[in-house]
Amino acid sequence: MKEGYAYWYNYSGRRNVYYNALKFRDFGKLYGLDMHKWPKKKRRFHKDTYPGNRWNRGDFILWYGYKEGDNVYWDTEIGKGRPAWNIQDPAMLTQHLGFKADICCGGIDNIIRHHDYVIAVIEGITKENVASCWLHAGHLYIDGKKMSKSLGNIIYPQDLLKKGYQWVHIRFFLIYGHYRQRLNFTLEKFDKVCKRLDTFKQMVKNLSSYENYAKKPDVKTRKAIDRLMDDFVKNMNNDLHVKEAFDTLFNNVSKLVKNKHKISVEDSNKATAKLKGIYKVLQVL
Q: Is residue 203 part of a domain?
A: yes
Q: Is residue 62 part of a domain?
A: yes
What is the per-residue pLDDT across 67-110, written as a single tens digit (0 to 9) for each?
A: 999 999 999 999 999 999 999 999 999 999 999 999 999 999 89
Same domain for 133 and 146?
Answer: no
Using CA atoms, how far apart are residues 165 and 103, in angstroms rounded to an integer? 31
**Single residue among 137, 168, 190 that ends a domain in this structure:** 137
Q: Is residue 230 part of a domain?
A: yes
- Which structural domain, as residue segments, surrounds residue 239? 141-282
Q: Using CA atoms in the order 86, 29, 44, 19, what is the torsion angle rounded to 10 degrees?
A: 60
Q: Is residue 242 part of a domain?
A: yes
Same domain for 128 and 220?
Answer: no
141 neighbors 186 (Cβ within 8 angstroms): no
Q: Is residue 1 part of a domain?
A: no
Same domain for 262 and 182?
Answer: yes
**Single residue among 76, 106, 137 that ends a domain in this structure:** 137
What is the per-residue pLDDT across 229-277, written as a single tens digit (0 to 9) for each?
A: 999 999 999 999 999 999 999 999 999 999 888 888 888 889 999 999 9
Count other Cβ atoms within 10 Å, centred on residue 256.
Answer: 23
Q: Is residue 251 part of a domain?
A: yes
Which stretches does DSSP call E strand in 66-129?
74-76, 79-83, 101-107
- Rounded to two decimals, the pTM is 0.81
Nearest residue to 131 (alpha-carbon basis) of 110, 107, 103, 95: 103
For position 230, what pLDDT does the model report? 96
Q: Is residue 241 part of a domain?
A: yes
Q: Is residue 222 part of a domain?
A: yes
For position 70, what pLDDT does the model report? 96
**Single residue among 137, 167, 190 that ends a domain in this structure:** 137
Residues linked to residue 74 through DSSP beta bridges, in sequence order: 81
Side-by-side strand order, sheet with 183-185: 145-146, 140-142, 183-185
Report the half-sphere exposure of 25 (CA within 13 A, side-chain side): 5
Using CA atoms, how far apart are residues 183 and 174, in angstroms rounded to an integer? 8
Same domain for 147 and 277?
Answer: yes
Q: How many domains does the chain have?
A: 2
**Mean pLDDT of all residues in the chain?**
93
